[in-house]
Amino acid sequence: MSLASLAMYVSPPPVQEATRLFWGALGARIRTYGLDAPEKLNDDVRYDEAWLRPDLLFGQTCGYPYVQHLRGKVQLVASPVYGLPGCDGPLKCSFIIVNAGSSAQSMEDLRGMRAAINEPGSNSGYNLFRAFVARHAINGRFFSSVLETGGHRASIDAVSSGDADVAAIDCVTFGNTLRFDPDRVAGVRILAETAKGPGLPFITAAATPAKDLLILRRALAETIADTEFADVCDTLSLRGISLLGDADYERLAEFDRDAVRHGYPAIA
């Protein structure tokens, strides 16, 4: 049996439930085309372990890990198009957030403050954040300290509670939280937006045959367009897909290189 894993956007609870329902519909459609798609998402395999499983039929990864170490080891299926603020087709930014009571009006006002990141392997919480800060850094430093929270929601909480002064939050995560868990973002405000880059691509194993890849793309587009599942896709803010290639994701690697050129290889 093949593996399906969609663990990147699974909160708040309405989004988690819609993700489950979405796979139920997509998996069923894939099976009508003759592929052995699992009926349920696999919640037992850690999200980043699923990416390199040889039996991965359908998954979703972050663009930064893709350009760092997944290229050539997985295949891009498609990039989702989300209908939330900060999104532009398959491109999306991160929102630079501060505490709602902060007097900061620009990034320069945050020099020497405390930053929160979700993890260094994240595009939205780290790579785009670092690229935004790099031009302001002096001798490789801008912040007084950096707190690694382990997740975007935890970073929002850190800024809201005062444990950190600033964080970069994926605009899709922020939009989902604003829609379905508004109290969580009530204590923060958006200060700025980072540059945009391609969003979190759907992927399949490197060994997936070309004909099966075409089926995955067709089934994905048809499921999103199916009016029967309009409510599910609306909960996910999922509007369509875009067939981006490896060259499109190179932009994220360029953000990485640009930060290094500015003498800011790590958020500090």
**CATH code at position 114:** 3.40.190.10
Same domain, 114 and 130: yes
120-130 pLDDT, tens digit per residue, is 999 999 999 99
Distance (Å, rounded) from C-alpha 252 to C-alpha 248? 8
Q: What amino acid is encoded at 147 in this protein?
A: L
Q: Could you say which DSSP state residue 71 is in?
A: B
43 found inside a domain: yes
Give every CB contact of residue 211 below 8 A, 6+ residues apart in sequence: none
Tell me: do 204 and 185 sit in the same domain: no
Number of independent structural domains in the chain: 2
Range 60-65 average pLDDT: 97
Per the structure, the complete domain to which residue 229 belongs is given by 3-83+199-244
pTM given for the model? 0.96
Please check whether residue 268 lies inside any domain of the structure. no
Residues 59 and 112 both lie in one domain:
no
- The average pLDDT across 55-82 equals 97
Q: Which residue has the tokens 């002096």?
A: 138
Is 205 within the bounds of a domain? yes
| Stretch 239-268: mean pLDDT | 97
Q: What are phi and psi of 96, to 5 degrees?
A: -80, 115
Write the pLDDT tens digit of every residue in 205-220. Answer: 999 999 999 999 999 9
What tokens does 266 get? 């790590």
Residue 249 lies in a domain: no
Average pLDDT in the chain: 97
Residues 97-129, buried b or exposed e (16+ Cβ, 10 A)? bbbeebebeebeebbebbbbbbeeebbbbbbbb
**How far is the C-alpha of 266 from the C-alpha of 174, rounded, in Å?**
24
Determine the pLDDT at residue 1: 83
Please state the rounded mean pLDDT for residues 183-187. 98
How far apart, in Å, do the first and last CA atoms of the chain sit? Answer: 44
